[in-house]
Chains A and B, each alone.
Chain A
């Protein structure tokens, strides 16, 4: 069996989700081809060649691949499946992987499997549905297995001493169906939500003036900012902060829920956190069922004490 891993990167470095996918791939086979597409991505190829378990790196370096558009990547992935005789094509279950992989599966002619949380066998997986409230096992009879991997379900892979060989791939698929225009990046004054070891998450119980203070507290700890859907819908926090069924899934060591009631759709995105703290005046908030520590207190009061303790 040969597993192809679709490498997610920012043009210079690989995303942490990629390292988690490699860990998942290792549980399927020892023959792993890392598939890198982008523009001037030699450094990305070098970095992924040192990821433990990667046997080969295939690089398609061309302007067409610069922005990771699905219309360009899907035909390239299809060609990689043929060229390398891939039995599995694995991508991170991020907005990037979820956009690209099903389109590639359509071209290959197989049913993709979304956000697997465990690999039970080479065609047998566990995944979650109903906002994480139900698990099921999926067995596929397809010749090529196309799966995305829930990023929080697998560890980050370690590095290997000898880099895997890198080969250039010259297949160019430019269907010009879509073109990239612009991107507004998340503000970089707090840590990256997907990888931070601590997340301060903001819910409806937080007032607008308290948001900046929680942000300062997050900066003090090098923590990332998260938010519930209500707060994002209200325009108080940007969309990339949303944690939950339709936002990001996070699994930090410490998740602090400020004034978040804990709807199942939100819990779906943070229940794998190691330690959860809920700060909420409502003793009946469902977040209590998830939190290791619940402080039934006013956000303002706790925030003031916390600011004092870090001053």
Chain B
């Protein structure tokens, strides 16, 4: 079974994002980037499936400019078999990205796409669902546990939903999106990081995939939300009770 793992290069989750002065976006120059944490989890899960003999091959793919090559190197250092960059000037919006990934998954004859449930930059949580829709595949979103049937004709997915945990069985091929607790990603070892530096990174253009990129969403006026005012440090429990009662939030 060939697994396709789409990954995204995002601003590191520890960075406090700053806005461009003209409100056209956030500052990315000189800012630390990393693999989207949810994609890291998906990749780890894919690698474990290969190690368990369930999958035979793990193909990492990203869409973006030359800088996103870094993220693919990390994927190779973690253990992905191959890495491909779909050449784009910038990271495509979810609809365009899902169109590209659908064409790519077909091209490499993937049986399953495992990816993060959302990117921590745009917080869209859409690409996996769009991809499953485009491909007409089943979808197991927000997965916290997976188990493939012996013949890999289906996969049982435990999903983190608002009310608890839901378990569904998805017919293969499937798109699965990883939630936080699916697994803990490994740190690549230094020798593997060094080896990954010399591994080839394939490139492919949207044209070669037969996809014409179009963005129907225009995004503007990036701004900070109105700040919540920090309040007072209250001296004692009794004073807190009094304050809450006077606000009418505690009887």
Query: Which of A's residues lie within 8 Å of B, judged by CB?
Result: 67, 69-71, 74, 94-96, 98-107, 110-115, 128-142, 175-186, 194, 198, 221, 229, 232-233, 238-240, 245-246, 248, 253-254, 264-265, 271, 274-277, 283, 288-297, 301-302, 305-306, 309
**Measured between C-beta atoms, what is the minimum distance from B51 to chain A in Å?**
23
| A180 and B126 contact, Cβ closer than 8 Å, known pairs A71-B138, A240-B162 | no
**Cα A19 to Cα B34 with chains together (Å):** 39
User: Quick one: closest B residue to A253, CB to CB?
Assistant: B249
Give chain B's interface secondary structure class: mixed
Is B90 interfacial (CB-CB < 8 Å)? no
Is B208 interfacial (CB-CB < 8 Å)? no
Is B137 interfacial (CB-CB < 8 Å)? yes
A and B contact pairs by CB, cutoff 8 A, 6 listed: A110-B216, A114-B123, A140-B217, A178-B171, A240-B162, A277-B240
Count of B interface residues, CB-CB < 8 Å = 79
Residues 227-239 of chain B, each 1 if its beta carbon lies under 8 Å from chain A, else 0: 0101111101110
**Cα A136 to Cα B218 with chains together (Å):** 10
**Cα A119 to Cα B180 with chains together (Å):** 30
Our pick among B161, B232, B237 for the contact of A306 (Cβ within 8 Å) is: B237
Our pick among A94, A138, A229, A233 for the contact of B218 (Cβ within 8 Å) is: A138
Taking CB atoms and an 8 Å cut-off, the chain B residues in 128-157 that contact chain A are 129-134, 136-142, 144, 156
- Asked if residues A70 and B129 are in contact (CB atoms below 8 Å), the reply is yes
**Measured between C-beta atoms, what is the minimum distance from A82 to chain B in Å?**
16
Is B121 interfacial (CB-CB < 8 Å)? yes
**Cα A37 to Cα B225 with chains together (Å):** 36
**Cα A254 to Cα B247 with chains together (Å):** 10
Residues of B within 8 A of A254 (CB): 244, 249-250
User: Quick one: closest A residue to B26, CB to CB?
Assistant: A134
Give chain A's interface secondary structure class: mixed
Is B181 interfacial (CB-CB < 8 Å)? yes
Query: Which of B's residues lie within 8 Å of A, judged by CB?
Result: 11, 13, 16-17, 19, 26, 93-95, 98, 117-118, 120-127, 129-134, 136-142, 144, 156, 159-171, 174, 179-181, 215-225, 228, 230-234, 236-238, 240-241, 243-244, 247, 249-250
> Which of A98, A142, A186, A305 gathers the greatest number of chain B CB atoms within 10 Å?
A98
- Asked if residues A106 and B129 are in contact (CB atoms below 8 Å), the reply is yes
**Cα A186 to Cα B130 with chains together (Å):** 29
| A137 and B220 contact, Cβ closer than 8 Å, known pairs A105-B133, A129-B121, A182-B167 | yes
Residues of B within 8 A of A95 (CB): 142, 159-162
- Asked if residues A111 and B94 are in contact (CB atoms below 8 Å), the reply is yes
User: Quick one: closest B residue to A198, CB to CB?
Assistant: B249
- Asked if residues B233 and A111 are in contact (CB atoms below 8 Å), the reply is no
- Asked if residues A178 and B160 are in contact (CB atoms below 8 Å), the reply is no
| A239 and B144 contact, Cβ closer than 8 Å, known pairs A294-B234, A297-B237 | yes
